[in-house]
Amino acid sequence: MDSISYNELPELFQGVADLFAEKKDELCEMDARMGDGDLGLTMQKGYGALPQLIRENGETGNIGKTLMKAGMKMAGLVPSTMGTLMASGIMEGGRALAGKEEIGPKEMAEFLTAFARGIQKRGKCQLGDRTILDSVDAGARKAEAASQMGENIAAVILAAAAGAKEGVEATKEMLPKYGKAAVFSAKAKGVPDQGAVAGQYFFEGLAKYFDR
């Protein structure tokens, strides 16, 4: 498979929806130790709705505009901090694919890079702050490297997932700076950031598309 067409877009994100439904309780338990305890619910609700939002807001043949519109609807559905960050990533990724009818390896790397950029811009976070950015940025960088090496689209996404996992591991040595997690920073040592784990699952969910 060399590319993903406009018509296959809902199915691509269905893998993300399915994985967050599976990981909902795990993420809530992680978040309860360091935050509000609703991370899994947010991810499941937002990404669970995304495939249908893509269908309902499709701009035929225009993947970028479709994702931008679906991301805006997603933001209204999950207006929490993490929900807003995820929707911002989808919208920024859509901007990077403006006018595209297909997603090849290069376009997938561009989407993932823009996804991470959208999260950074909206959250005003930096690498090393122990947030979701630490995993999605690491994943995007691996995706870009795989694309430049001429890998196919499946390999690009698998590289992103592996990179995100490395980013999650790195957060074990970081101290949280934002939100309720900062209050419990003493508990953070040696424990992965729950937001970063969610970022890893986003990439792994995209990879499920190729398990068919």
The string of pLDDT tens digits covering residues 3-23 is: 999 999 999 999 999 999 999
- Mean pLDDT value of segment 177-190: 62
Return the pLDDT at 190: 80
Return the pLDDT at 186: 59
pLDDT at 183 over 60: no
Q: Percentage of the chain surpassing pLDDT 70? A: 93
- Mean pLDDT value of segment 65-81: 95
68-104 burial code (b ≥16 CB/10 A, e <16)? bbbbbbbbeebeebbbbbbbbbbbbbbbbbeebebbb
Return the pLDDT at 35: 75
- Mean pLDDT value of segment 144-161: 98
Q: Which domains does the chain have, with CATH numbers?
A: 4-211 (1.25.40.340)
